Amino acid sequence: MSATERLFWQDPYQRHFRAWVMETLTFKGQPAAVLDRTCFYPTSGGQPHDLGTLGGIPVVEVLEEEGGKIIHLLERPLMLGPVEGEIDWSRRFDHMQQHTGQHILSQAFERELNAATTSFHLGSEVVTIDVAIPTLSPKEAARVEALANRIVIEDRPVHAKEYDEEEASSLPLRKAPVVHGRIRIVEVEGFDLSACGGTHVRRTGEVGPIHIRRWERRRGQVRVEFLCGWRALEDYAKRDRLLQEAANQLSVGTEELSEAIQRLQKAEQLARRTAESLRKRLLDYELPQLLAEAEPLGEMRVLCRLLEGYDAGNMRYIAQNLTQTPGIVALLAVTEPSPQLCFARSENLPLDMSQLLRQVVAPYGGRGGGRPHVAQGGGVAPEDLEEILQKAKELLR
C-alpha cells in the first residue's frame, strides 16, 4: 500500500478532512484503520500524535510504519469506504506552539552558548531538550530565554519546504538530517533552519511566551524544561496566585515576600534551638527517675520501656545518658515518627546489643544494627513493640 498523504504538512491548521478508509486491521490489540489521506499527525521526532475522531469514533493513537503508512488506532472498528475526520484542535495547536518554540529555543542556545540540542521530548505537561553543555547558570538561562522571546515578539514568518538531499546539504542547518531522499526543512525566517517533520505555527508570534522553568545535569549535559504559549501563561498565572496567597498569609506585599520568608526562617531556627534546649533540660530532669526504675537482673539493672511522648532522637539521648552509669542496660522503644527501638548498655557489660536487637526484631520483619554498646532499628508494627521489648529482656535474663 502506498504512503498516506499527509495533510498536516500541507496545512497544519486544517481541522476537518474527508478521506477513504483503505484498510482496517487490529493493531496492538485495538481496532485500527489506514486512510488514503489524513490530518492526524503520528508520533515521531519527539512530538506526540494527534487525537480526534474518524466517523465519530475516537482516535486514541496514531503511528507511522515503514513505507510512510499511517495507522489510526480507534476505540471501535471503522468500515471501509469514505470517512470524515476531525482533529482535536486544542491539542494540535498546543503541540505547534511547543514544537516551534523548541526550534527557537534550541537556536537561542546555539547562538548564546554554542550549545547544541541533542534530544527533544514534548510531554503532556512540560517540554524538555538536552543541550550539550556541562552546566547552565541562571544568568545564561536568562540570556537564552530573552533571545528566544525577542524572536517571538518580532513575529517572524515560519516556513516549511521540501528539498532533495543535495539542496539540503548546502543549507546552514542547525542539525544534520537523519533521513534520506526528500527532506522537509522548517525555517524561522532569518534565525533557524532545521530538518523537521513536525507541525508548526505560521509566525513566531503565535508561539507565545517561552519560559525556561528549570534545568538539571544529566549524563554530562543539561536537561532544560520549558513551556511555550498557553502552557507558559497558565504556569505564570499559577505561580502568581501562589505568590499572592503566600504574601497575604504573611501580611506583606509580593515584593516583600523574600524578606518575610527569611525572617520566618530565622524565627523558626531560633524556636527549634530553644525547643531542643528545653527538651534536653526536661530529659535531664527525668533521667534520675528513669534510672531509678531500672530493674535488677543479675549483676546489671535493666530499663525496659516504651517511651510515650518521645521521638527517636529523645530515645537515643536517654539511652546514651543512662548507660553512662555502670551496669545499666536500656531497652527502649518509641512510636513517633515511626516505630523504632534502641538497645544500649554500659561500657563495663560484655553484651552485644546489635546482635540482640537483630535477633528480636527479625521475626517481626524488622531490621536494625549498630555497635556492641548501642544499636537502633525499626520496621516493625507499633503493636509489636511491647512484645519485642519483653523478649529482649527475657534473652538477657
Q: What is the pLDDT of residue 189?
A: 96
Q: Per-domain residue ranges for the chain? A: 5-87, 93-240, 252-292, 294-396
Q: What is the pLDDT of residue 118?
A: 94
CA nearest neighbour of 102 among 219, 211, 221: 211
Q: Is the pTM of this model over 0.75?
A: no
Q: What is the pLDDT of residue 274?
A: 87
What pairs with residue 203 in β-bridges? 157
CA nearest neighbour of 370 among 360, 361, 357: 357
Cell of 162: 521540501
Annotation: CATH topology of 5-87 = Elongation Factor Tu (Ef-tu); domain 3 (2.40.30)
Q: Are strands 52-54 and 57-64 parallel, antiparallel or unpaired?
A: antiparallel
Q: Name residues whose C-beta falls within 8 Å of residue 380's C-beta, 6 or more positions apart in sequence.
A: 339, 341, 361, 364, 365, 366, 388
Element (H, E) at 189: none
In this structure, is the dihedral angle defined by the CA atoms of residues 164, 166, 171 and 175, taken in order, positive or negative? Answer: positive
Q: What amino acid is encoded at 74 in this protein?
A: L
Contact 293, 299 (CB under 8 A): no
Task: Please state, in angstroms and rounded to a whole number, the distance separating the CA atoms of residues 288 and 293.
Answer: 9
Contact 183, 164 (CB under 8 A): yes
Cell of 383: 503493636
CB atoms within 10 A of CB 312: 21
Question: Per residue in 1-24, is it b (16+ CB within 10 Å) or e — as a string?
Answer: eeebebbbeeebeeeebebebbee
Q: What is the pLDDT of residue 308?
A: 85
Same fold across 93-240 and 294-396: no
pLDDT by 10s per residue, the chain, length 397: 578 999 999 999 999 999 999 999 999 899 999 999 999 999 988 899 999 999 999 999 999 987 889 999 999 999 999 999 999 999 999 999 999 999 999 999 999 999 999 999 999 888 999 999 999 999 999 999 999 999 999 999 999 998 888 888 888 888 877 766 788 999 999 999 999 999 999 999 999 999 999 999 998 999 999 999 999 999 999 988 998 888 888 888 888 888 888 998 999 999 988 887 887 888 888 888 888 888 898 889 999 989 888 888 888 989 999 999 999 999 999 998 899 999 999 999 999 999 999 999 999 999 988 999 999 999 999 999 999 999 999 888 7
Q: Name residues whose C-beta falls within 8 Å of residue 246's C-beta, 6 or more positions apart in sequence.
A: 257, 261
Question: Per residue in 32-46, is it b (16+ CB within 10 Å) or e — as a string?
Answer: bbbbebbbbbbeeeb
Identify the residue whose cell numbers are 522548517: 186
Identify the residue whose cell numbers are 516551534: 100
Task: Please state, in angstroms and rounded to a whole number, the distance separating the CA atoms of residues 32 and 72.
Answer: 5
Q: What is the pLDDT of residue 164?
A: 86
DSSP state of 38: E
User: Which stretches within the chain are classed as H helix?
Assistant: 7-10, 89-113, 138-153, 165-169, 229-249, 257-292, 312-322, 353-361, 385-396
Task: Please state, in angstroms and rounded to a whole number, the distance separating the CA atoms of residues 175 and 132.
Answer: 13
Q: Among the CATH numbers 3.50.50.60, 3.30.930.10, 3.30.980.10, 3.30.70.260, which is that of 93-240? A: 3.30.980.10
Q: What is the CATH number of domain 294-396?
A: 3.10.310.40
Cell of 321: 545518658
